[in-house]
Amino acid sequence: MEATQNDGFASLGLDNALVGALNTLGYEEPTGIQREAIPALLSGRDVLGQAATGTGKTAAFALPLLQRIGRHEGDRPIRGLILVPTRELAMQVAEAVHRYGKPFETRVLPIFGGQSIGLQLRSLRRGADVVVATPGRALDFINRGALDLSGVEFLVLDEADEMLDMGFADELDAILAALPEHRQTALFSATMAPRIRALTKKHLHDPVQVTIPTERTKPGTAPRIREVSYIVARPQKIAALARVLDIEDPASAIVFCRTRTEVDELADMLVARGYEAEPLHGGLSQEQRDRVLRRFRESKVTILVATDVAARGLDIEHVSHVVNYDVPSSPDVYVHRIGRTGRAGREGVAVTFAEAREQRLLRNIEHHTKRKIPVESVPTVHDLRAKRLEAVRSSIEAALADGGLERYRAIVDSLATEYDVYDLAAAAAKLADQTRDGAPEDEVDIPAVAQPRESRAPKRERTIGGDVSRIYVGLGRRDNLRPADLVGAIANEASLNSRDIGAIDIADRFSLIEVPSAQVERIVKALRHTEIRGKKLGARRDRK
Ligand code: AMP
């Protein structure tokens, strides 16, 4: 089993060393977009891909890019260029390319607005194989003569629709004019608007078109399944999953994760929280897999945490709950997964956790299944208590129906002379509640993730975990301030990872930024003298 599990990637034509890197990351098989785009790009063709975040599109272009440009060799010019709309994405994509490219020792450099030019110039001078850039900063560097793109063999336009939406059309044209004619180009976009078609016609050569395959599943044939989704920030996911499991109280559940590593980690965390959970993935021996499955079938384990590969072809009659710990990479995968519940006329439940940025994927699934997946708020502590009390109520009703109460009447008789009978009954109910195992009393509510508010752009939608404080800065929309400027300034001046920066709200004359409370003083201090485009930020802690 172990030796063959990454045949999926190898059969796409990928180099063994790259397949090895994917193995280390715990990827078991290619996603739909990877299966389509990788062979086409490896064969040297241009590709026009329609795919949103969460489909695995980064690997779909990064792996072929790495293979086509080859191993790192000293003193070679930049050979791969990836253009992305935001600083966030630049860092994310650069990190992914770095991880996938480890066996080739590929040097990757992200360049983006907001960070000091000097720093990025120095890094550029040290040399890079691949540059991941936002269009504004890339053009700035080209104009300064600091970014030589004459050796670029492989160009990626990632989230091209976003780049156009953000007004980067002119920058894109100018950058593309600075690239060699003979090169390979991949363009990825979540939508295929006419503007994207025009861009494609101008800059791609006879591209292979790839979309997430949507064959096979016919709408309307789905079993009876209650579908629900929760939007939660990554740091809150495990707590949200635990809360949902407590409320749903599944008889048997499969929780799907993307990678083997995630499966192992999540199963461990669930066990640590007292759930009967076991991992199932392609890295286990056949014997281990059989044992886990047997225990699951015999209801000795309630929760199976699994990858798609491991769960495929399982002959498990029925599970009461399917949980997507991440949004599945394609509607097909979603339909396939949730098909494991709601069998044999019984109602099943399909729960999907999504991060705010993955909502487009959810809508894509809804579009495909022609069913709405309602977004609900994660159950509160209050809900949990209500559920417990409901359970106590049913057990009291069951005891009444069972009878055999005679020998307890004496207790009631003796106490009733002194106490109110209602109080007596309530005390008995309290005892019944306390003898049930379950939620500890120190549970806290899980913060909701803000839903996008269209009218208040520009806003950066992002939530962070833990205690959050807000920083006020005296610049806003009137000063042409953009979220990326603030993220850049904070990351640069206060060395805060952009992942730790929460929502950014830009109003006309001021802006608010969410940061971890523990760091707020330090960040304010670091920003005190910072300027953006010649204007002082005037940062202070927002007291409201
Ligand atoms: P992307 O759509 O590129 O943002 O990728 C979404 C997530 O899926 C990232 O966390 C990747 O690490 C992960 N991922 C990409 N391809 C695979 C794969 N074949 N198997 C498992 N996870 C993957």
With a 6 A CB cut-off, is 6 part of the ligand 1 pocket? no
Query: Which residue is closest in CA terms to ligand 1's atom 8?
Result: 56
Strand segments, DSSP code E, in 365-421 are none
Q: What are the distances in angstroms from CA 485 to CA 128, 513, 516, 534?
A: 24, 12, 19, 13
With a 6 A CB cut-off, is 59 part of the ligand 1 pocket? yes
Q: Which of 233-247, 368-382, 391-405, 433-447 has the lowest mean pLDDT?
A: 433-447
Q: What is the largest CA-CA distance in the chain?
A: 97
With a 6 A CB cut-off, is 54 part of the ligand 1 pocket? yes
Per-residue pLDDT, 100: 97
With a 6 A CB cut-off, is 183 part of the ligand 1 pocket? no
- The residues with which 531 forms a beta bridge, in sequence order, are 536
Q: Which of 133-137, 230-234, 504-508 has the lowest mean pLDDT?
A: 504-508
- Tokens representing 341 are 């519940």
With a 6 A CB cut-off, is 55 part of the ligand 1 pocket? yes
Residue 343 binned pLDDT confidence (cut-offs 50, 70, 90): low
Strand segments, DSSP code E, in 105-200 are 108-111, 130-133, 154-157, 184-189
Q: How far is the CA of 471 from the centre of ligand 1 (A)?
A: 33
Query: Which residue is closest in CA terms to ligand 1's atom 5?
Result: 56
Q: Which atom of ligand 1 is nearest to the CA of 57?
A: 3
Determine the residue type at 216.
R
**Can you tell me the mean pLDDT for 112-116?**
84
Per-residue pLDDT, 205: 95
Q: How far is the CA of 153 from the centre of ligand 1 (A)?
A: 25
* Coil vs helix vs strand at 470: strand
* Coil vs helix vs strand at 56: coil
Q: Which atom of ligand 1 is nearest to the CA of 29?
A: 19
Judge whether residue 531 has pLDDT over 50: yes
The 10 Å Cβ neighbour count of residue 194 is 7
With a 6 A CB cut-off, is 259 part of the ligand 1 pocket? yes
With a 6 A CB cut-off, is 321 part of the ligand 1 pocket? no
Domains assigned to the chain: 3-211 (3.40.50.300), 225-379 (3.40.50.300), 381-452 (no CATH), 458-544 (3.30.70.330)
With a 6 A CB cut-off, is 49 part of the ligand 1 pocket? no
Query: Which residue is closest in CA terms to ligand 1's atom 17?
Result: 56
Q: How far is the CA of 324 from the centre of ligand 1 (A)?
A: 14
With a 6 A CB cut-off, is 113 part of the ligand 1 pocket? no
Per-residue pLDDT reduced to its tens digit, 399-455: 888 888 988 888 999 998 899 989 999 999 888 887 765 544 556 777 766 544 333
Per-residue pLDDT reduced to its tens digit, 14-56: 999 999 999 999 998 999 899 999 999 999 999 999 987 788 9
Query: Which residue is closest in CA terms to ligand 1's atom 6?
Result: 54
Q: Is 281 exposed, middle or buried (0-12, 13-18, 19+ CB in 10 A)?
A: buried
Average pLDDT, whole number, for the chain?
Answer: 86
pLDDT above 70 coverage of the chain, percent: 90
Determine the residue type at 30.
P
Is residue 100 within 8 Å of residue 22, measured between CB atoms? yes
- The residues with which 487 forms a beta bridge, in sequence order, are none
Q: How far is the CA of 473 from the centre of ligand 1 (A)?
A: 36
Our mutation pick for probing the ligand 1 site, out of 259, 266, 325, counting the most ligand atoms within 8 A of Cβ, is 259
Q: Provide CB contacts within 8 A for 196, sequence distance 6+.
A: 160, 161, 164, 187, 189
Determine the residue type at 29.
E
Q: How far is the CA of 56 from the centre of ligand 1 (A)?
A: 4
* Coil vs helix vs strand at 180: coil
Q: How far is the CA of 261 from the centre of ligand 1 (A)?
A: 12
Query: Which residue is closest in CA terms to ligand 1's atom 13?
Result: 56
Residue 343's nearest CA partner among 220, 225, 216 is 225
Rounded CA gap, 303 and 244, in Å?
13
